[in-house]
Amino acid sequence: MAVLAALLLALAGALVAPASAATAGPVRNGVSQPVYSYTKAVRETVWVDTGLDGDGDGRVDRVAADIIRPSEPAAAGLKIPVIMDASPYYSCCGRGNESQLKTYDSKGHPVQFPLYYDNYFVPRGYAVVLVDLTGTNRSDGCVDVGGPSDVTSAKAVVDWLNGRAVGHSARTGGTAVTPTWANGSVGMIGKSWDGTVANGVAATGVAGLKTIVPISAISSWYDYYRSQGAPLYSGTPADLAGDVESSGATSRCRAEQSTLAAGAPYSGDWTSLWQQRDYVASVAKVKASVFVVHGMQDLNVRTVNFGQWWDALASTGVDRKIWLSQTGHVDPFDYRRSAWVDTLHSWFDHYLMGVDNGIQNGPVADVERAPDQWSQDAGWPAPGTVQSAVHLNPGTLGGTSNSGSVSFTDDPSRDENAWAADADRSTPDKTVFSSAPLAGDLRLSGSGSVTLTVTPSTASAHLSAVLVDLGPATIRNYAGSGEGIRTLTTRSCWGTSGTGDSACYLDTAADTTQVGATVFSRGWIDLGHYASLNHGVALTPGTAYTMTVDLAATDHVVPAGHRLALTVAGTDNGLIDPPASRPTLTVDLSRSALRLPLVGGAGSLHVPAKPALDGPGLTSLTARELPLGAAAFR
């Protein structure tokens, strides 16, 4: 063993720059190398004190952290960084396209670590730590759906890895465990709830968290369940907690379940529960670099979540990178596998091992333009983007001012796809504003908004606003079962396999569909929250109300020859719940405004000099330009 340790130390010294030799894994040509044995890796579980007693049993809650790490670095006197995925899904639902669960041997030692992170990164000198959030799998406590318990249970493990928390060899106590093998540098990663927790932990400013990679993640839980007062089709936090909590937690966590139910009223009010779960509000504390990944057609974790998080992070000065796909709620491992693994590898090497590989100086944004076709930008929103006010007139985007009025009646049976299909046909449930066919490509990059002055006929009303690209296209089938991907029967391997933990995963391919129109940005409101999100009120029929609908972040090119359209309607079936009544709504366009993030500003929106014969036209389109980000957040 002594000879092996000496050999490994010499090898590491030959491969790693002297400044990082004491802490980094072996590096050659700017890339960490797979020189360590995966099959001989140390597999252990440590239970970490959280300082909480969420289940009220009089004992401090402990969370289970399953660890896999190469055995050789410690023998060679090297400390290593950690890749951590904290999740509620390790026993109930699984992770990845194949829904992998954690598995254990007869003595309770971890065998299968879901996803490829362990297979790929452990041989390269990283530890992988998978944490069961409180109330799930083998952890104590109660699930609180993004609240202090969720965040603290993951933060406690970061603290333990940095010597600030106590770890134990058993759930009931055992002996104290100290991570003498860890160098204190932690990167958190995960999709959906997992990535959401990474956002929440970063927003605590915890020392030692060097980077996060939130994939399809929530930045404010209100915006998962509500949209400016309108209830979304997402169930309730109490339902979600019940779905993931361990069997033992079900009976002891009834008080937490009641708290979740009471704090998330169907009314859509902005309660203290939501405020507690708004990580954007604490963005100033973020010190970690952030690599955001999101599907622009994600109708589970809607894109407002990445957009507001990304925009808020700009004020912190932390390094940022972003990938935006045309998929729904899908991991990049399943739509751009090889490029993703290489990019993530470089990202972790730089921010966790200190490798000077230049990734922080490369393109900031990768955007999928068509299935498997990507472009890159030096920043995001794209350089040259300007918030531009575009005028609204009945039937058209354009003119020299906003004028006229339009009316429609809420029809809860209709949705955004039906509206888009009927864009050129008058129907009573919507109003459409469209340009003539564009003379050149038009790119929208970022978040827009539409301010509407609306008079309802009843005491309650919901509004939907969607941006549509009117024209034929081949897109990812984000509405399909795979949300834009097909799972194949072949497998490819990413790292080293071990007994009970394969590194080989089912391959995927793009699932595409032909469409005549593409909805690419959306927003929904409850008009009863026109004055404040804190408390909705009954509307007075016949009274005009003004409210701004936030159009969620996107990056889309409307090609030359296509038309850009804004649809305004009531209930977007399948995405928001209908109001208590079925109002007719009249929109005063002279007191309304559309603001779009146009690359090149309003001058980039070129239309023919004469209106087209096959659709709504305009002879000119004027707009005044506003500073980027001028639209209100809420």
The set of catalytic residues is 192, 298, 329
When divided into structural domains, the chain yields a total of: 2
- Nearest-angstrom CA–CA distance, 148 and 242: 17
313, 343, 373 - which closes a domain: 343
Residue 524 near residue 499, CB atoms below 8 Å: no
CA-nearest of 79, 246, 54 to 156 is 54
Residue of 390, 464, 469, 389 lying closest to 423 (CA atoms) = 469
Say if 30 falls within a structural domain: no
Return the pLDDT at 609.
46
Which parts of 46-87 fold into alpha helices (H)? Answer: 72-75
pLDDT value at residue 558: 98
State how far the Cα of 160 lies from the Cα of 614, in Å rounded to an integer.
66
Query: For residue 244, what is the enclosing H or E element?
Result: helix 237-244
Domain membership of residue 12 (yes or no) is: no
Q: What angle do CA 581, 587, 589 make, to 5 degrees?
A: 165
Same domain, residue pair 425 and 288:
no
pLDDT at 251: 84
Q: Is residue 379 part of a domain?
A: no
User: Helix, strand or coil for residue 199?
Assistant: helix
Query: How far, in Å, CA of 38 to CA of 373, rounded?
Result: 35
Looking at the structure, tell me whether residues 318 and 435 fall in a common domain: no
- Within-domain flag for 123: yes
pLDDT in tens, 95-138: 999 999 999 999 999 999 999 999 999 999 999 999 999 999 99
**pTM for the full predicted model:** 0.92
* Alpha-carbon gap, residue 524 to 465, rounded angstroms: 6
**Confidence (pLDDT) at 620:** 28
Q: One-letter amino acid identity for 76?
A: A
Whether residue 186 is found in the same domain as residue 295: yes
CA distances for 322 relative to 367, 426, 621, angstroms = 8, 39, 32
In a domain, 479, yes or no: no
Rounded (5°) CA angle 68-70-76: 145
Q: Write down the pLDDT at residue 25.
A: 64
Is the domain of 325 the same as that of 192? yes
- Would you say residue 409 lies in a domain? yes
Whether residues 298 and 400 fall in one domain:
no
CB 90 within 8 A of CB 135: no
Place of tokens 């990812």: 476
- SS3 (DSSP) at 100: strand
Are 157 and 261 part of one and the same domain?
yes
Is a pLDDT exceeding 80 seen at residue 142?
yes
* CATH code at position 282: 3.40.50.1820
Segment 253-308, tens digit of pLDDT:
999 999 999 999 999 999 999 999 999 999 999 999 999 999 999 999 999 999 99
Length of the chain: 634
Asked whether residue 224 is assigned to any structural domain, the reply reads yes
Percent of the chain with pLDDT over 90: 87
User: What pLDDT score does 249 carry?
Assistant: 86
Spatial neighbors of 299 by CB under 8 A, at least 6 apart, are 328, 329, 478, 575
Q: Pick from 236, 279, 281: which is nearest to 260 by CA?
A: 236
Least confident of 98-102, 590-594, 611-615, 621-625: 621-625
Q: What is the CATH number of the domain that holds 597?
A: 2.60.120.260
Domain span including residue 196: 35-343
Give the pLDDT band (50/70/90) at residue 617.
very low
> Measuring CA to CA, which residue among 235, 233, 230, 232 is closest to residue 267?
230
Domain stop point among 343, 377, 406: 343
Q: Are 313 and 456 part of one and the same domain?
A: no
Domain co-membership, 430 together with 333: no
Reported as a single tens digit per residue, the pLDDT across 414-454 is 999 999 999 999 999 999 999 999 999 999 999 999 999 99
Please give the pLDDT value at position 248: 83
On whether residue 485 sits in a domain, the answer given is no
What is residue 136's three-state secondary structure? coil
- Does 407 share its domain with 309? no
Residue with tokens 């039937």: 395
User: Among 312, 343, 374, which residue terminates a domain?
Assistant: 343
> Is the domain of 241 the same as that of 334?
yes
- What's residue 15's pLDDT? 38
- Residue 5 above 70 pLDDT? no
Please tell me whether residues 538 and 613 are part of one structural domain.
yes
Specify whether 334 is located in the same domain as 390. Answer: no
Average pLDDT over residues 582-607: 93
CB 589 within 8 A of CB 393: yes
In this prediction, residue 625 carries a pLDDT of 33
